[in-house]
Structure 1
């Protein structure tokens, strides 16, 4: 239903002018404002849904059967929360000037428009807002980016979420960041940035975190999807919404044609979020580190004080499911704490202080365990700890509620 009091968009036949004055997301996509969604494969939705915070989160389905799962959630399970489907074409095809939205589906005819078909399919499944099937945008491939932006601008539909799956090389230099910002500002609707690169993309370039914060600050409707800790950093910096990947594969993009690099013993045990250190570790790693000491007891809504973090040493039994539930419960706990602060400086300072505290905790815990190199601070966490808010005003902690954030 159209809001009769909403200002009409200025007609635009080219890409020479940005949209009208920045404003919050409107219409169907307005429900996404200020949320941190969970990006998850369809097979794991049932496992993780119980831990979702209905008022602050939602789902982004990604991978095979995402459309079918979206339909099931809406029609059979009466899921009424925010729901997006990420076509994830960028996993298999790169964008080009000729084909910014490449056809990655064998079931369509050659003359079908992949963009129109994908948006229509998503809408038919009841998504909150449809997302564009953008191909992977290689570093500084401005021709492909501009072609994608032109196509979406021509739709003149501010409810369409423009997916911008960019190689993290776009965040390396000032010139490419300015170009990316200029292009994204030409679209009136939400812009969902997703970062590509092996392992931890934001750790690859010294200024990537600062440049990400700049994009969020200067692009109205900017969002960050398929990411990790950056989901909180971006939300604190003012992103319209974000999405945290429920699995390591969904916390970054690997460029089409590349084989994903993984850590040693990747498949031996589940990834477990260590709240105090703000990082994911293999369950086996935690078991080894705490072999000679009592493991930390977890008080999250899933563990409820009945489990220690070193109890996920293998994939046997239901350990993978319990670890996944624990991870989401902790993330929701952090989200409630973050959103208890008013948007702006208070949130930025809370996030910055939390990252600094976590960085400082590493050497103390290593000393306690008598393992000098037991736990190593992740590069991205260091960068968030150094990325102080512009103002040095004191954090108004009286505005926040106590959610026992670990």
Structure 2
């Protein structure tokens, strides 16, 4: 439940004035400014490293051996780009008022401070900045959030990134959003939100996308990690940096103790790699794409990884190096989008670019289905439709004949 004693967000003197410019990150953190990193498991770094845009991206490692892989990248593989390690404590333990940074390590003394130990280990591995090992923050658990914020604020270290793995229920109502904003404002350094919930968290609540943009606008130093399309939406809205999940598991957080649900389009054991279809702005199994286009030619992909030599139906199974090639394709497309986005001036123009791109993708679904003579062949994901409705703050979304279809999910 929300805490009535929580501080209120600092008010704006005039709600018509433009939002503040994104907070400039200080010191070594400055290299993260304006970037979209890739959130990836250590085992898959080799699949995508060659496609990273050195000037606009970087890596967030999460999972077993993340610290060891970070150290290896720095010391033996000459990786000089932005590098973070996500401790991922929130995957196995929830935060509480008594224990906001749960100890999940083995072989350490019980009196060791898990927060201090984790920060020191990350720094020893050569990270750009350490992330706090925060437990999962259940919806409206203000006591756990308050305890985590107080401990981070007491560090008085603006080079530490406060990881805030929040259940998306925090974004459901205005009261809980206001409280979340108020607590996050107490942390001087950057705050890295990660959204928890089954399937597509931002699709669960109609106002979640708008509330996410509100947090980015009102909390200086907000970042968004372990996400999907929202990595671009948040960056367009002024987030200091973001991270796109390189695998479906790393595009959202599952609450500790819950089993991840899977969608029909990618459920169960994947018999083929997940492939990003650029014009639809969504991932599909390679086999699904091959089946949908069985009677029609699929355009040849011109991304930097495919180089005009293969179509997306060439990823129909996991044989050979198809998983590695699909991962390289996905990252190459994301980097193209990132270069285009960051070429647009920050502020309303960038938000407008993202909004128009989402609108175009949603509109493409029925047209492609008509071309393939498959009325239900492809269905626009709910989150994409939400971003298509989220016009820049100073603009009114255009009236649309099919607006009811946008709001169904």
Is residue 37–residue 58 contact of structure 2 (8 Å, CA) maintained in 1?
yes
Report the equivalent of 1:61. Answer: 61
Note the alpha carbon deviations across 1:344-365, whole angstroms, 9 max, x for none.
1111000000000000000000
| Aligned counterparts of 1:348 and 1:18: Cα–Cα separation in 2 | 24
Is residue 236–residue 338 contact of structure 1 (8 Å, CA) maintained in 2?
yes
SS of structure 2 residue aligned to 1:243: strand
Deviation (angstroms), 1:266: 4.4
Structure 2: tracts of 5 or more residues without a match: 1-5, 11-19, 397-409
Report the equivalent of 1:5. Answer: none
| Aligned counterparts of 1:23 and 1:385: Cα–Cα separation in 2 | 27
| Aligned counterparts of 1:50 and 1:266: Cα–Cα separation in 2 | 27
Is residue 272–residue 281 contact of structure 1 (8 Å, CA) maintained in 2?
yes
Report the equivalent of 2:339. Answer: 336
Report the equivalent of 2:190. Answer: 190
Deviation (angstroms), 1:78: 1.4
Is residue 166–residue 194 contact of structure 1 (8 Å, CA) maintained in 2?
yes
Is residue 100–residue 144 contact of structure 1 (8 Å, CA) maintained in 2?
yes
Is residue 9–residue 178 contact of structure 2 (8 Å, CA) maintained in 1?
no
Report the equivalent of 1:397. Answer: none
| Aligned counterparts of 1:48 and 1:327: Cα–Cα separation in 2 | 9
The answer to whether structure 1 residue 303 and structure 2 residue 299 are counterparts is no
Equivalent of residue 378 in structure 2, options 375, 380, 386: 375
| Aligned counterparts of 1:18 and 1:117: Cα–Cα separation in 2 | 32
Deviation (angstroms), 1:342: 1.1
Deviation (angstroms), 1:23: 3.4
| Aligned counterparts of 1:249 and 1:16: Cα–Cα separation in 2 | 35
The answer to whether structure 1 residue 384 and structure 2 residue 401 are counterparts is no
SS of structure 2 residue aligned to 1:53: coil
| Aligned counterparts of 1:274 and 1:131: Cα–Cα separation in 2 | 32
Report the equivalent of 1:174. Answer: 174
SS of structure 2 residue aligned to 1:276: helix
Evaluate the alpha carbon distance shift between residue 143 and residue 330 of structure 1 in structure 2; reply closer, same or farther with a 3 A threshold.
same
Note the alpha carbon deviations across 1:117-159, whole angstroms, 9 max, x for none.
0000001111100000000000000000000000000000000
SS of structure 1 residue aligned to 2:313: coil
Is residue 296–residue 310 contact of structure 1 (8 Å, CA) maintained in 2?
no
| Aligned counterparts of 2:337 and 2:62: Cα–Cα separation in 1 | 23
The answer to whether structure 1 residue 316 and structure 2 residue 319 are counterparts is yes
| Aligned counterparts of 1:295 and 1:49: Cα–Cα separation in 2 | 27
Note the alpha carbon deviations across 1:326-358, whole angstroms, 9 max, x for none.
000000000000000111111100000000000
Report the equivalent of 1:99. Answer: 99
| Aligned counterparts of 2:200 and 2:360: Cα–Cα separation in 1 | 21
The answer to whether structure 1 residue 113 and structure 2 residue 118 are counterparts is no
Note the alpha carbon deviations across 1:283-307, whole angstroms, 9 max, x for none.
1110110010001210000001111
| Aligned counterparts of 2:120 and 2:269: Cα–Cα separation in 1 | 38
Is residue 37–residue 242 contact of structure 1 (8 Å, CA) maintained in 2?
yes
Report the equivalent of 2:407. Answer: none
| Aligned counterparts of 2:183 and 2:393: Cα–Cα separation in 1 | 25
SS of structure 1 residue aligned to 2:315: coil
Report the equivalent of 2:288. Answer: 285
Alignment of 1:6-405 (within 5 A): 23-263=23-263, 264-392=267-395
Is residue 29–residue 129 contact of structure 2 (8 Å, CA) maintained in 1?
yes
| Aligned counterparts of 1:101 and 1:265: Cα–Cα separation in 2 | 33
Query: How many aligned positions are there?
Result: 379
If the length of structure 1 is used for normalisation, what is the TM-score? 0.91
Is residue 18–residue 187 contact of structure 1 (8 Å, CA) maintained in 2?
no
Query: Structure 1 runs of 4+ off > 3 angstroms?
Result: 15-19
SS of structure 1 residue aligned to 2:61: strand
| Aligned counterparts of 1:58 and 1:84: Cα–Cα separation in 2 | 8
Deviation (angstroms), 1:17: 9.7
If the length of structure 2 is used for normalisation, what is the TM-score? 0.91
